[in-house]
Structure 1
Amino acid sequence: MTTATLTGHVVVATDGSEGSLAAVRYAARAAEGRGVELEVVHVVPPGLPAGPFGAVPDAQIRRSGNTTLRHSRDVAVAEVPDLEVVSTLLIGSRVDALVWHTHDAAVLVLGAAPHGLVERLWTGSVVTGIAARATCPVAIVPLGAHEPRAGAGRRIVVGLKSTEHAEHLLGAAFALARQTQSDLTVVHAWHLVSPYDDAIAERTLRRAWLVEQERTLEDALIDHRLAFPEVQVDVDLVHGQAAFALVGLSRTADILMISRPGHGGLVHYLGSTARAVIRDAECVVEVVPPLHEEREHDGRHALAGARG
């Protein structure tokens, strides 16, 4: 078993919008809980078009970017007054710059795309693009995500497609549950593509399937239960479409953790379930990359940064 550890610092990307400032507040609390510094990052393009000729001067772009960073840093310090916060201005494309810059981070925090169609077409592609390529976990914070419930335990929900290759996701979930003193619910949802076959399976195979799947899941959890005895764990087997089930569970969870398909080379993608969950979940969604995926920081993209 690979035991996950919560090492590295927390990075949050900001553009000064209300959604990204919600991510800054969440990231500040996450950094405080881990006992690490928070890095606030803003990405600006090399130049902005200004009519048919010329572009906005680079100095003006940098001044605007630094103003965004100062305001976001103030928001983080207001949330956690004693937190160590640094700020970094990157120049390049948002996806490329953030993926490259956070290859050794503990987690990258992003604000979720807003629900308006026009805004989602822009920010949604950035969020999913980063989640598909980042080599560190990516936490996506919906605007208006509920705070931890007063007087009640926190809960982390882990969505498992299968127990194969699930060790890293489970290890990360148990480590985060211990760090945040949260209960853990491991969920596996199933349904057949054909409604007829699904209905027949529900009537004839349900009991046998439940017994077999529960045994398989418990086998996958044995080592993690031993390594994290203080974490309270429940297993939930759901007959239904995975994205629908996970989005429903997000209404009463604090964090929903899912894994990303393994890939390599120039192929980067999220599955349909991950995209739906990122789009519709009502709590923070953390996307955990495969453990052995090759990190891409080959310097193909020209980036510049200033840290302060």
Structure 2
Amino acid sequence: MPTPVMAGVDGSAESLAAAEWAAREAVRRERPLCLLHAWAWHQQRDGEAADAVRRTLARRALRRAEERVRRARPGVRLSEEQVPGPATTALLEAADRADLLVLGSRGLSGFTGFLVGSVTLGVVARATCPVVLVRAGEDEQDEHFPAEDGSACERTRHRDVVLGLDAGDPDDRTIEFAFEAARLRGAVLRVLCAWQPASASALGPGDIALVDEPQQAREWQGYLSAVLQVWRDKYPDVDVLECVPRGRASTVLIRAASAAGLLVVGHRLAERPVGPRTGPVTHAVIHHVGCPVAVVPHA
């Protein structure tokens, strides 16, 4: 049996939106969907009475999520799980046996972006499978460009998939995830490789030509084209736009994602002395981007 798309649910509006997004993705990927509820989303007192309450809340959360999924994608192959233990631990264990893990994050009222809690950050930092964050209120119409009259529509073409490529570490797993996401949607893939001008004081004697910014831009464009060529050959049906904007990576990605259907970024798995953390670019985009964000781990 293929590994499932898994969605963490706790009965909240954001987890219901995540469950529906996960159902659409499971159908696209031709995979089953598993709805997962961890008893300890919030700390509870121990004992039989507390266990009974947790089980009741779990059944209620799973029932609401199942109803939402069945309305959106009645044909999806669906299963459910209840697991005890801290939410972060339960979700990380689920990620080890998932194709994709989808979590909800509360949208910031009046602003784009997510309100990301400690559980979500802990999972994103250490999960071994890609993690997609979906804001509250996200629905199928948001994946598509508006109709000609400006109204929301589920029948127009999909919004672009945006890939933020780390120039110093162009990870194959992250690139493949983005190409596959674009292929499944029939969407344009926009690949962004942000760069900043080299400081003259940081250049050696043989690097002085790089002070010329137009030349630097051409160098980055050639580099990006070379990295992507093998993926263009593998995915000939995906329309790819290569962009080498000047500026900070986080700023460039946040701006580019404002009209995107999905933003894809990579995350290097590493244990640091102070514990697992997301990198600065990943941290910035998951807090300030309004569309779903896929964080793809790599070694």
* Same fold per superposition (TM over 0.5): yes
1:107 and 2:100 are equivalent in the alignment = yes
Within a 5 Å distance, the mapping from 1:214-253 to structure 2 comes to 214-253=221-260
- Cα deviation 1:217-274 (Å, max 9, x = unaligned): 1111111111110111111111122112111111111110000023148842201111
Tell which deviates more after alignment, 247-256 or 169-178: 169-178
Q: Which amino acid in structure 1 is aligned with residue 179 of structure 2?
A: F
Aligned equivalents of 1:190, 1:132: Cα separation in 2: 25
Segments of 4+ moved more than 6 angstroms: none
Q: Which amino acid in structure 1 is aligned with residue 289 of structure 2?
A: A
Name the residue aligned to 2:13: 18
Name the residue aligned to 2:127: 134
Cα distance change on mapping 1:91 and 1:156 into 2, 3 Å: same
Name the residue aligned to 1:276: 284
Q: Which amino acid in structure 2 is aligned with residue 102 of structure 1?
A: A
Q: Report the number of matched residues.
A: 274
TM-score (norm 2): 0.83
C-alpha RMSD over aligned residues:
2.8
Q: Is the 8 A contact 2:108 2:115 kept in 1?
A: no
- Cα deviation 1:155-202 (Å, max 9, x = unaligned): 1100012153422211221122212212111101123699x99xxx9x
Name the residue aligned to 1:256: 263
Tell which deviates more after alignment, 239-248 or 216-225: 239-248
- Of all paired residues, the percent bearing the same amino acid is 28
Gaps of 5+ in 1: 1-6, 294-308
Cα distance change on mapping 1:123 and 1:173 into 2, 3 Å: closer
Name the residue aligned to 2:175: 170
1:66 and 2:71 are equivalent in the alignment = no
Q: Is the 8 A contact 1:113 1:279 kept in 2?
A: no
Cα distance change on mapping 1:55 and 1:161 into 2, 3 Å: same
Gaps of 5+ in 2: 146-154, 203-207
Aligned equivalents of 2:53, 2:77: Cα separation in 1: 28
**Equivalent of residue 191 in structure 2, options 171, 186, 211:** 186
Name the residue aligned to 2:161: 156
**Equivalent of residue 211 in structure 1, options 218, 233, 238:** 218
- Cα deviation 1:16-44 (Å, max 9, x = unaligned): 11111111111111111111111001111
Aligned equivalents of 2:118, 2:54: Cα separation in 1: 23
Deviation at 1:57, TM superposition (A): 2.5
Q: Which amino acid in structure 2 is aligned with residue 230 of structure 1?
A: D
Name the residue aligned to 1:49: 45
Q: Which amino acid in structure 2 is aligned with residue 278 of structure 1?
A: I
Tell which deviates more after alignment, 243-252 or 144-153: 144-153
Deviation at 1:99, TM superposition (A): 0.5
TM-score (norm 1): 0.81
Aligned equivalents of 1:262, 1:87: Cα separation in 2: 28
